[in-house]
Amino acid sequence: MHAIDDLFTTEQRRSLSADSPTPLYHQLYALLKTRILNGTFSYGDRLPTEEQLSNAFLVSRITAKRAMDELASAGLVARQRGRGTYVVYRYRANPLDVPLVGVLEEIETMAANSRAVILESALQVPPGQIRQELGLAAGQTALHLRRVRQSDGIRFGYYESWTRGVEAPDDLAELAATPRLTYFRQRGLAMTHVTQTLSAVAASEEVAEVMDMAVAAPMLQMVRRTYNRAAGGEVVDFLTIQYNPDYFQYQLDVELA
């Protein structure tokens, strides 16, 4: 059974609100359901107990039980008296739908001319697809980092990354002031090459709120995989960036023979 601290940050555990029009049990159900559908919880994993959920999310046992019952009704878990609650949903990874348009170079001036705002930094169990990308076993954690970049007070990029083999930084200010990959190299993370893909996506509620955009507004998405050939070519860092196209554009110049 995963430790709750590895699955949910303190902010997430305090995010349930009695003032929301959505009942508390359904808010908890939605959080757990997301972790099951994205593969954070694998088939056969035992979920935290009602008491553990109650203590972690500061809700009543009745609320925790109702959330677990909803998961069972949705066919995602099986509940067995005396044994606990186990995941019966089998996660299957779907390929990212991002057409390959070329490999982009790191834009060094971006870090120099903009400011990073750290939203979250914690060691967590990644979703199933990310876990497979990083070659992690069930239950292993990676550094989960969420941040935005802004210039002149305008947030133009939302960054979310999962990185294996590094610890959560003690000083977030240092990470905010240093390009991410540079920071990781200084701490011994070996990286040999990078691939990047581009696509267009619609802003989710979470991203729209952080970026001060409308939900479902178009965004330019870049998915960057950083590899270490010396370690069997495995992905050591998986980064997704979503740009506000009003403030960020990608231009490709090609010389024709």
Tens digits of residue pLDDT in 89-98: 887 765 433 3
Report d(CA 253, CA 98) in Å as an integer: 21
The CATH fold of domain 108-243: Chorismate lyase (3.40.1410)
Q: What is the pLDDT of residues 3-12, one digit of tens each?
A: 787 888 888 8
Per-residue pLDDT at 58: 93
Report d(CA 39, CA 130) in Å as an integer: 9
Tell me the helices (H) and strands (E) count for the chain, helix number first. 10, 8
Residue 59 banded pLDDT, cuts 50, 70, 90:
very high
In the chain, CATH 1.10.10.10 sits at: 4-87
In the chain, CATH 3.40.1410.10 sits at: 108-243
Report d(CA 87, CA 183) in Å as an integer: 37
Q: What is the pLDDT of residues 215-255, one digit of tens each?
A: 888 999 999 999 987 767 789 999 999 998 877 766 656 66
Tokens of 206: 């979470």
Tokens of 83: 């044994």
Closest CA to 240 of 202, 198, 208: 198
Closest CA to 181 of 172, 173, 193: 193
Classify domain 4-87 at the CATH class level: mainly alpha
**Mean per-residue pLDDT, 35-50:** 89
- Total-model pTM: 0.65
Report d(CA 68, CA 54) in Å as an integer: 11
Q: What is the pLDDT of residues 96-144, one digit of tens each?
A: 333 333 333 344 445 555 788 899 899 999 999 999 999 999 889 999 9
Q: Which amino acid, 161?
A: S
Residue 174 banded pLDDT, cuts 50, 70, 90:
confident
